Copies of this chain bind each other. A is one copy, B any other.
Amino acid sequence: MQETRKGMLLVISGPSGAGKGTLYGRLLQADQTMGFSVSYTTRDPRPGEAEGKDYHFVSETEFAQMVADDGFLEYAQVHGHHYGTPLAPVREALERGQNIMLDIDPQGAMQVMEKAPECVSVFILPPSFGELRRRLEGRGTETQEEIERRLRNARGEVALMDRYQYLVINDVVETAYQTLQGIVDAEKQRSCRYFPVVDE
């Protein structure tokens, strides 16, 4: 049995605190077929960060040129700096049969779904807004004002969950991971990217 494959673009999104980063990390580690995209940013490298590994560090002018050239799958401004997922390397990886996974906030996810409608989109849900608050407070990295803002955003984002193809509740991480891996494995069997040849 010969077979060829096109890559899958997997978009993992969800409200801040739902745990998409943890699930992304687990999947990247466990699934050898899954790769990631290195984002572009206009912020300065932090100590220990390497060009092309953590980010591609570019100037505001270079970034603006890439935007003008329609070079991003999605981009956003956060705290005065720009961040973007480049389109060309992702497209090339997919054509080579490499799967690519993005861990991305809902605003970015909507842009990717617009630009790459063939993507597989998964929305990670918290079991409750109370639990989401506990997780955000437990991090200890955001101010109370920032936590309240993220909780308000979360309600709006959860209301739009039907824009995503799949929904996964992240109550117990291991269970949510298994469900996510199952979705990825099922999507590998899709006739739009899996081309088996029946031998004689």
Contacts and interface: CB of A to CB of B under 8 A. Distances in A.
Interface residues of A, number: 34
Contacts of A179: 185, 189
Contact of A1 (B123, B171, B199): B171
7 tightest A-B CB contacts, nearest first: A186-B186, A128-B199, A183-B186, A166-B189, A162-B191, A167-B191, A182-B186
A152 to B, nearest CB: 14
Contact of A198 (B127, B187, B198): B127
Given A1-B127, A129-B200, A199-B129, A167 B189 contact: yes
Interface in A126-167: 126-130, 158, 161-167
A6 to B, nearest CB: 12
B166 A191 contact: yes
A80 to B, nearest CB: 32
Contacts of A185: 179, 182, 186
A118 to B, nearest CB: 13
Interface of A: 1, 123, 125-130, 158, 161-169, 171, 179, 182-183, 185-187, 189-192, 194, 196, 198-200
A196 B176 CA distance: 14
A164 B191 contact: yes
Contacts of A128: 1, 198-200
Contacts of A191: 123, 161-167
Contacts of A165: 190-191
A199 B130 contact: yes
A163 B192 CA distance: 9
A73 to B, nearest CB: 21
A167 B191 CA distance: 6
A1 B187 CA distance: 26
A164 to B, nearest CB: 6
